[in-house]
């Protein structure tokens, strides 16, 4: 199996080299001047530097890790990081080392764009081919499961249900023979050394209950003596989500039950930078004339202030002042005689005629871009709820408070998927929270762009649930 893994690594590496070479030649052809020597010694050196730097950066960015049990999005992120660093390296070469290169500096931009498209396409095609091969029974890893209890059997079922991962169970070891072993009982744990020698096994998965440290240690020693990789299913797996992760503090492994791409400080800063630039552009190009018009219409059609300020819960459950264009009559009740939050209804008497238009088109939310500039909110994120509604929901809606792991947003994944309007029924609020958590766990820059685009489309055509 080690030989197969090595072959897979070099095949992937050579495929990348082919893509790099092909697009280097294509870019070179595009920028070539009349009478040029197509591939001079200098250009051969550039190609060599490109391949060398790609290899080093790719290894550091985990581009050649085993992604067989992960979606293509993980590999895509590794590709993106490698391409960006490779592009930065070439930019440095052209502007600081090869200052007198006689061709346009657009070479770097064009070359980087082409290899990004080419590498993504090639690796996606390879992944699809490997999935088909594994489903057909090729390129498999043989796994021995030690422990036929609930954990071991659940792992076996997961493996069988996901045959595209490329794992095949060769059998179980357990000190008690159980009926539900699918005819794959190979013996007791003490038989492990002999079975490892007589059976083609790539990995040993330990699925025995906690507290049997001596047994686990013997399994590890026997497996590593035969050069078999050992994986241990932790007891905390039943509490973990698909986004769980592990890191080490010294020699102690710490499991994080739920993670998000936005746990990465770099992505937080990138998201913040993008939203600041986007907001400033909107204020200069659109809000500079749209805000005065809306403000004037509010003053002409109803008494009271232009803006409405309401306290809501933000990041890490801290209170923020959320700004909106006023769409209701002044001094409207926000709770009933029992202290329950009064959600807006389709024919709510508190909403002004102009307010209905503003709420239907989401224009009443535009002042929250001020909150974005202040750092209290994001453009995209879970919508912040008024404090009375928040207090009613946090103790009855599952995972409700996890929404506050990130900044609240002006719009969000729940909103563009139709979760607007009243949430009197717990099921409606639960669906909203579930969609918010999906966004948090699957954040990407492109997902934010998609949500912003869908929000703009909803503003243009109107939302039947917005009132």
Query: Could you report the per-residue pLDDT of 105-129, keeping only the tens digit for each?
Result: 677 888 888 999 999 998 888 877 7
Whether 410 and 295 map to the same domain: the answer is yes
Whether 117 and 101 map to the same domain: the answer is yes
CB 403 within 8 A of CB 382: yes
CB 89 within 8 A of CB 98: no
Q: Is residue 128 part of a domain?
A: yes
3-state secondary structure 89-104: HHHHHHHHHCCCCCCC
Domain final residue, candidates 135, 166, 181: 135
Task: Give the pLDDT score at 33.
Answer: 57
Most confident of the ranges 166-170, 247-251, 316-320 = 316-320
Whether 208 and 271 map to the same domain: the answer is no
Q: Which domain holds residue 94?
A: 2-135
Q: Is residue 245 part of a domain?
A: no
Q: Is residue 248 part of a domain?
A: no
Number of domains the chain is built from: 3
Most confident of the ranges 229-233, 336-340, 385-389, 433-437 = 433-437
Question: Which of 249, 245, 236, 161 has the alpha carbon at shortest distance from 441?
Answer: 245
Q: Is residue 73 part of a domain?
A: yes
Q: Is residue 244 part of a domain?
A: no
CB 458 within 8 A of CB 416: yes
Question: Which of 63, 134, 51, 40 has the alpha carbon at shortest distance from 90?
Answer: 51
Task: Give the pLDDT score at 134.
Answer: 65
The token pair at 179 is 């009926």
Q: Is residue 467 part of a domain?
A: no
Higher-confidence position of 218 and 340: 218
CB 136 within 8 A of CB 166: no
Whether 369 and 335 map to the same domain: the answer is yes
CB 264 within 8 A of CB 237: no
Q: Is residue 246 part of a domain?
A: no
Domain final residue, candidates 73, 106, 135: 135
Domain final residue, candidates 94, 114, 135: 135
Whether 329 and 439 map to the same domain: the answer is yes
Whether 97 and 195 map to the same domain: the answer is no
Tell me how far apart the alpha carbons of residues 3 and 215 are, in angstroms, rounded to a whole number. Answer: 30
183-198: average pLDDT: 85
Whether 196 and 339 map to the same domain: the answer is no
- Radius of gyration, CA atoms only, the chain: 29
Whether 297 and 162 map to the same domain: the answer is no
Could you tell me how far CA 443 lies from the centroid of its own chain?
4
Strand (E) or helix (H) holding 273: helix 265-282
Q: Answer yes or no: is pLDDT of 95 > 80.
A: no
Q: How many CA atoms lie within 13 Å of 115's alpha carbon, on the beta-carbon side?
A: 31
Question: Which of 125, 118, 152, 85 has the alpha carbon at shortest distance from 16?
Answer: 118
């Amino acid at each position: 199996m080690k030989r197969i893994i090595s072959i897979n690594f070099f095949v992937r590496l050579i495929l990348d080299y082919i893509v790099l070479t092909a697009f280097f030649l294509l870019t070179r052809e595009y920028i070539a001047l009349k009478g040029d020597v197509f591939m001079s010694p200098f250009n051969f050196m550039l190609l060599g530097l490109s391949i060398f730097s790609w290899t080093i950066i790719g290894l550091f960015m985990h581009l050649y890790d085993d992604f067989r049990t992960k979606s293509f999005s993980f590999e895509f992120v590794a590709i993106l990081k490698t391409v960006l660093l490779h592009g930065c390296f070439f930019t440095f070469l052209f502007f600081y080392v090869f200052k007198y290169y006689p061709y346009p500096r657009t070479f770097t931009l064009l070359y980087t764009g082409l290899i990004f498209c080419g590498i993504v396409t090639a690796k996606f095609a390879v992944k699809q081919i490997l999935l088909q091969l594994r489903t057909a029974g090729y390129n498999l890893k043989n796994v021995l499961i030690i422990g036929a209890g609930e954990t071991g059997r659940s792992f076996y079922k997961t493996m069988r249900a996901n045959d595209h991962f490329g794992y095949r169970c060769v059998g179980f070891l357990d000190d008690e023979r159980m009926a539900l072993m699918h005819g794959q009982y190979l013996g007791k744990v003490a038989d492990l050394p002999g079975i490892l020698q007589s059976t083609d096994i790539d990995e040993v998965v330990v699925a025995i209950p906690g507290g049997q440290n001596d047994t686990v240690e013997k399994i590890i020693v026997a497996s590593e003596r035969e050069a078999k990789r050992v994986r241990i299913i932790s007891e905390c797996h039943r509490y973990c989500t698909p986004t769980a992760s592990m890191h080490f503090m010294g020699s102690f492994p710490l499991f994080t039950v739920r993670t998000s791409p936005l746990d990465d400080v770099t992505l937080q800063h990138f998201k913040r930078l993008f939203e600041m630039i986007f907001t400033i552009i909107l204020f200069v190009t659109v809000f500079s004339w749209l805000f005065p018009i809306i403000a004037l219409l509010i003053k002409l059609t109803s008494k009271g202030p232009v803006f409405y300020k309401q306290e809501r819960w933000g990041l890490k459950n801290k209170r923020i002042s959320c700004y909106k264009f006023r769409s209701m009559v002044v001094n409207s009740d926000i709770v009933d005689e029992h202290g329950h939050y009064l959600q807006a209804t389709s024919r709510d008497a508190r909403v002004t005629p102009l307010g209905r238009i503003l709420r239907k088109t989401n224009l009443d939310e535009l002042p929250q871009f001020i909150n974005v500039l202040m750092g209290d909110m994001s453009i995209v994120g879970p919508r912040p709820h008024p404090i009375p509604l928040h207090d009613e929901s946090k103790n009855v809606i599952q995972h409700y408070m996890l929404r506050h792991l990130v900044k609240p947003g002006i719009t969000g994944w729940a909103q563009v998927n139709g979760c607007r309007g009243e949430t009197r029924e717990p099921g409606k609020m639960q669906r909203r929270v579930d969609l918010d958590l999906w966004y948090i766990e699957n954040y990407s820059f492109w997902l934010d762009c998609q949500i912003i685009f869908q929000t703009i489309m909803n503003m243009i055509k109107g939302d039947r649930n917005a009132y």
